[in-house]
Amino acid sequence: MRIGAIEAGGTKFVCGIGDENGIVLDRVSFPTEQPEKTLGQVIAYFKDKQVEAIGVGTFGPIDIDPNSPTYGYVTTTPKPGWSNYPFLDTLKREFDVPFGWDTDVNAAAFGEATWGAAKGLDSVLYYTIGTGVGVGVYAEGKMVHGLVHPEGGHVLTRRHPDDAYEGFCPYHGDCFEGIAAGPAIERRWKVKGSELSEDHPAWRMEAFYIGQALANAILMISPKKIILGGGVMHQLQLFPLIREEVRSNLNGYVNAQAIVSGLDDYIVPPGLGDNAGLCGSIALGLQAWNQNR
Ligand code: ADP
Ligand code: ZN
């Protein structure tokens, strides 16, 4: 079976073809520009690919309420041209196949629950810590949408006592994203995160913030696993530091084996690696196909 997948990011689009086992058969990528141009490239790519369904996991905010007149739109993004853009309708006009549509991070959570590090679990959180921070919530076997969709990147965090950086979120300043996403690291330390040494104090501070957000999420959602992806999490030395922060924040209160003695298997990198997003979109496409049978 051939399923089309679109991982629509703020900086680049990845399109690909996958099968029903989440195997990526083909992939291409291009920069995110004006929607007419970028979606034109997407349409041209899928034109002769004979896919049976297409899954879209996209940057947001987006409208994912099927009963809304603007279902399938990107809503309030500052990205030039994309605000109030009918993303999904533009594709539906070209391809008469079932479409799956969700946030990039919900898709990644779903992909990881289907084929990755959370395979077989009915509950997982997926964080991407990159240019921004996004959180996908998969709970009780479904992507969580709620009122809009979860925006756990913007939760408020307690300041680290040694941190003088004010945060870059245009809405909240020093919310989790504003204080911990890639650009915050770069502005605080005046050098790109990828250029900081493994033992630089930046990583303890980073783990301090991530550990708070995760402890709050564990208390709120009680996920069965937490997956951390995105560019910043290529710094694998963060994982033990984050687990330590989570343990210390929860301080024995959540009495589950995964927390008490299993944190190494509870807070983990994506099992699908850098394919987490694309595989998530394949999973969305497959789900849409199954629902239309
Ligand atoms: P995006 O969030 O735009 O989809 P990424 O997940 O690659 O893309 O995140 C990009 C951000 O992550 C940038 O701020 C970059 O500085 C940071 N980043 C990328 N690679 C690394 C790395 N190896 N170590 C630390 N930070 C990194
Ligand atoms: Zn914010």
Distance from residue 128's CA to the centre of ligand 1 (Å)? 10
Average pLDDT for residues 140-164, to the nearest whole number?
96
How far, in Å, CA of 27 to CA of 120, rounded? Answer: 26
3-state secondary structure of 170: coil
Of the chain, the percentage scoring pLDDT greater than 90 comes to 96
Alpha carbon nearest to ligand 1 atom 8, residue: 130
Q: Which atom of ligand 1 is nearest to the CA of 229?
A: 6
* Res 262: pLDDT: 97
* Res 79: pLDDT: 86
| Whole-angstrom Cα Rg for the chain | 19
Q: Is the pLDDT of residue 170 over 90?
A: yes
Q: Is the pLDDT of residue 78 over 90?
A: no
* Structural contact between residues 47 and 88, judged by C-beta atoms closer than 8 angstroms: no
Average pLDDT for residues 63-79, to the nearest whole number?
93
Domains of the chain, each with CATH number or no CATH: 3-104+274-291 (3.30.420.40), 117-269 (3.30.420.40)
Instruction: Report whether residue 86 contacts ligand 1, using a CB cutoff of 6 Å.
Output: no
* Res 160: pLDDT: 98
* Res 87: pLDDT: 98
Q: Is the pLDDT of residue 282 over 90?
A: yes
Average pLDDT for residues 225-240, to the nearest whole number?
98
- Residue of 210, 232, 234, 241 best suited for mutating to test ligand 1, as the one with most atoms within 8 Å of CB: 232
Tokens of 242: 């984050």
How far, in Å, CA of 79 to CA of 123, rounded? Answer: 31
Residues 6+ apart with CB under 8 A from 288: 53, 54, 55, 98, 99, 100
Distance from residue 74's CA to the centre of ligand 2 (Å)? 18
10 Å CB burial of residue 49 (0-12, 13-18, 19+) is middle
Distance from residue 55's CA to the centre of ligand 2 (Å)? 28
Q: Which atom of ligand 1 is nearest to the CA of 183?
A: 14
* Res 221: pLDDT: 97
- Residue of 11, 58, 131 best suited for mutating to test ligand 1, as the one with most atoms within 8 Å of CB: 131
* Res 77: pLDDT: 85
How far, in Å, CA of 238 to CA of 242, rounded? Answer: 6
3-state secondary structure of 246: helix
Residues 6+ apart with CB under 8 A from 268: 117, 225, 226, 227, 228, 239
pLDDT in tens, 208-227: 999 999 999 999 999 999 99
Tokens of 278: 């694309």
* Structural contact between residues 70 and 260, judged by C-beta atoms closer than 8 angstroms: no
